[in-house]
């Protein structure tokens, strides 16, 4: 979990979701799922900096699956107030791991 700018930011690893709560009330502000691939999850704590959230999906980062073809880590930059993706960066080239 990370805190900043009046918010608490957490991840739900098995579903690759990021959620934002108001620090004072615990009210959910927004929640977004970053990936729909069954082998992707999030195991890192989110980073909050300058009004942004940095977080990454990870192949095998959940309790339902392990590394599979087509599962790659993506680094996301989200707006802390809206949860909208400002940019994303694929950590490998498209065909590095194959898609069996």
The pTM score is: 0.84
CA distance 93 to 50: 29
CA distance 65 to 4: 32
CA distance 66 to 63: 8
Assign 80 a pLDDT band (cuts: 50, 70, 90).
Answer: very high
Q: 59 burial class (0-12, 13-18, 19+ CB within 10 angstroms)?
A: buried
Assign 3 a pLDDT band (cuts: 50, 70, 90).
Answer: very high
Tokens representing 47? 């980073």
Assign 60 a pLDDT band (cuts: 50, 70, 90).
Answer: confident
pLDDT above 80: residue 67: no
Between 61 and 11, residue with greater pLDDT: 11
CA distance 56 to 72: 10
CA dihedral 96, 61, 21, 54 (to 10 degrees): -30
pLDDT above 80: residue 99: no
């Amino acid at each position: 979990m990370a805190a900043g700018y009046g918010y608490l930011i957490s991840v739900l690893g098995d579903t690759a979701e990021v959620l934002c709560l108001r620090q004072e009330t615990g009210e959910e502000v927004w929640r977004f799922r970053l990936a729909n691939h069954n082998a992707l999850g999030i195991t890192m704590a989110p980073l909050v900096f300058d009004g942004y959230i940095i977080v990454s999906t990870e192949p095998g980062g959940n309790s339902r699956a392990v590394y599979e073809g087509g599962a790659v880590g993506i680094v996301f930059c989200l707006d802390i107030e809206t949860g909208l993706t400002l940019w994303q960066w694929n950590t490998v080239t498209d065909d590095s791991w194959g898609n069996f």
